[in-house]
Amino acid sequence: MSADDDRAREQLIDLAARFYDQFEQGEVPSMSIPTRTKSNIEYDEEADVWVYGDRESTRSANSVRGAQKLLKAVYTIDFLADQLEQDRSSTLRELYYLSESWDNDNAQFNDQDESNQLVEDLEIVSEVTREDFHMRPEESGAKVMGPLRIREQTNRGAREIHCQDDVGQGGYQIPNNPDTIEFLECDAEFVLCVETGGMRDRLVENGFDEEFGALTVHLGGQPARATRRLTKRLHDELDLPVTVFTDGDPWSYRIFGSVAYGSIKSAHLSEYLATPQAQFIGIQPADIVEYDLPTDPLSDSDVNALESELEDPRFQTDYWEEQIELQLEIDKKAEQQALAARGLDFVTETYLPERLDEMGVL
Catalytic-role residue among 52, 75, 97, 351:
97
**In the complex, minimum distance from the CB of residue 348 to a second copy, in angstroms, rounded to a whole number:** 12
Half-sphere exposure for 146 (CA within 13 Å, toward CB): 28
Burial of 31 (0-12, 13-18, 19+ CB in 10 A): buried
Residues between 14 and 73 that touch a second copy (CB under 8 A): none
CA gap 324, 272 in Å, rounded: 29
Cα-Cα-Cα-Cα dihedral sign, residues 317, 320, 323, 329: negative
114 near a second copy, rule: CB under 8 A: no
Using rule CB under 8 A, residue 350 touches a second copy: no
What part of residues 81-100 is at the interface with a second copy (CB under 8 A)?
88-91, 93-95, 97-98, 100
**207, 210, 206: which is closest to 188 by C-alpha?**
210
Residue 96: active-site member: no
Strands (E), the chain: 30-34, 41-44, 49-52, 56-60, 90-91, 135-136, 143-145, 148-154, 157-162, 172-173, 181-186, 190-194, 214-218, 242-245, 279-282, 296-297, 332-333
Least CB distance from residue 222 to a second copy, whole Å? 15
189 is a site residue for a second copy (CB under 8 A): no
Site residues for a second copy, window 192-211 (CB under 8 A)?
Answer: 196-198, 201-202, 204-205, 207, 210
Applying CB under 8 A, the span of 13-21, 35-43, 45-53, 132-140 interacting with a second copy comes to 132-140
Among 139, 189, 271, 354, binds a second copy (CB under 8 A): 139
> Any binding-site annotation on 247?
yes
| CA distance linking residue 210 with residue 346, whole number of Å | 17
Q: Binding of a second copy at residue 7 (CB under 8 A)?
A: no
Q: How far is CA 164 from the centre of its chain?
A: 24
Number of CB atoms found within 10 A of residue 85's CB: 12
Does position 149 interact with a second copy (CB under 8 A)? The reply is: no
Separation between Cα atoms, residue 126 and residue 360, nearest integer Å: 40
Count the site residues for a second copy by CB under 8 A.
60
User: How many CB atoms within 10 Å of residue 183?
Assistant: 13
176 near a second copy (CB under 8 A): yes
Binding to a second copy by residue 76, rule CB under 8 A?
no
Q: Mark residues 245-284: x for contact with a second copy by CB under 8 A, - for none.
A: ----------------------------------------
Closest CA to 351 of 199, 235, 205: 199
Task: Determine whether the annotation assigns residue 121 to a binding site.
Answer: no
β-bridge partners, 121 = none
What single DSSP character describes residue 110?
S
CB nearer to a second copy: give 60 or 176: 176
CB of 96 to a second copy, least distance (A): 8
Backbone φ, ψ for residue 184 (5° rounding):
-95, -45
Which amino acids are annotated as binding site, given as ranges?
195, 247
- Name the site residues for a second copy (rule: CB under 8 A): 88-91, 93-95, 97-98, 100-101, 136-141, 143, 152, 154-156, 159, 161, 164-176, 180-181, 196-198, 201-202, 204-205, 207, 210, 218, 220, 294, 335, 337-344
Instruction: Please identify every residue annotated as catalytic.
Output: 97
Which amino acids are annotated as binding site for Mg(2+), given as ranges?
195, 247
